[in-house]
Amino acid sequence: EDKVVQSPLSLVVHEGDTVTLNCSYEVTNFRSLLWYKQEKKAPTFLFMLTSSGIEKKSGRLSSILDKKELFSILNITATQTGDSAIYLCAVEANNAGNMLTFGGGTRLMVKP
């Protein structure tokens, strides 16, 4: 059974801090790992990672995948209150339905 574990469960930081969110996985026939940000409603897509060691970056957010050790990290530098959200990690396997297996999420709160 495919499994995704995120840590920490929750995190409280102050504006300007840098945070690192972790995602480890066990999946048969790995295809990709995805990060989403969920505020109040729909998760919004952040990154899709398929290759080890290649950092993906978007503004203050960056992510990298280690396919040997089976984990990924999401970094947020110079955090802002608008970064407060649940961050979801999901893995996609090469299966018939392109299904995603999600971790439990990390709830990030950024205080002013």
Cβ closest to another protein, residue 41 vs residue 68: 41
- State in angstroms the smallest separation of the CB of 87 from another protein: 11
Cβ closest to another protein, residue 21 vs residue 100: 100
| Distance from C-alpha of 14 to C-alpha of 69, rounded to nearest angstrom | 30
- State in angstroms the smallest separation of the CB of 56 from another protein: 12
| Distance from C-alpha of 59 to C-alpha of 101, rounded to nearest angstrom | 27
Residues in contact with another protein by the rule CB under 8 A: 4, 6, 9, 32, 34, 36, 41-45, 48, 50, 88, 90, 96-105, 107
- State in angstroms the smallest separation of the CB of 43 from another protein: 5
